[in-house]
Every structure is written in structure tokens, then in C-alpha cells.
Amino acid sequence: METQTARGTLQCVVVTPERTILDEQAEFVALPMYDGELGVLPGRAPLIGRLGTGELRLTTGGHSQRFYIDGGFAQVRSNVVTVLTSRAM
């Protein structure tokens, strides 16, 4: 756990009922929660939350990846962000 925090990365996993869409390292993750956007950095306290519809962003080395998320749930624990959603593009 400490080595991931020292490197400044999170593991981001996005799963739909059909397959795993994403499983990558990121320095920052922005989640579209049902009541606003949530930014996650390494070392974030654990949480479980309900996702809304919107844009999931991952940033690594100044490069951003964007995905459309259609609701679901997110869990942040031990520098791992897990997103369970019905649809991600």
C-alpha cells in the first residue's frame, strides 16, 4: 500500500455486467457521483458511493482518458477505485 502512495498512483477498475472495461494506474480519478463530481487522489479515505450519469476521468502524466458512465456504484479502498456500472463507453 505505501509503495502505491509513494508513487502517487491509484488502480482504477471499471466493470460492467458484460466485461471489465478498464484496469489501469492513474494519478487522479474524477467520478460522476449522483450529487456532483468526486475527485480521488492516492491516500483517499475509504468510501462507497452512488454514481450518476456523466464523465469518468483518469489522469496520468498529464494525459487524460475519458469514459461515459451510466450510473452504478463506486468504491475507494487502499488506493483502488472500483466502478460498477451498467454501461461505460
Identify the H or E element spanning 3: helix 2-7
Q: What is the pTM of this model?
A: 0.88
Q: Is domain 2-84 classified as CATH 2.60.15.10?
A: yes
Which own/partner pairs from 35-40 qualify as long-range (CB within 8 Å, at least 24 positions apart)?
A: 38/74, 40/10, 40/76, 40/81
Question: What is the rounded distance in angstroms from the CA atom of residue 77 to the CA atom of residue 46?
Answer: 5
User: Would you write out the chain's pLDDT as a tens digit for each of its 89 residues?
Assistant: 444 444 689 999 999 999 999 999 999 999 999 999 999 999 999 999 999 999 999 999 889 999 999 999 999 999 999 999 999 99
pLDDT of residue 1: 42
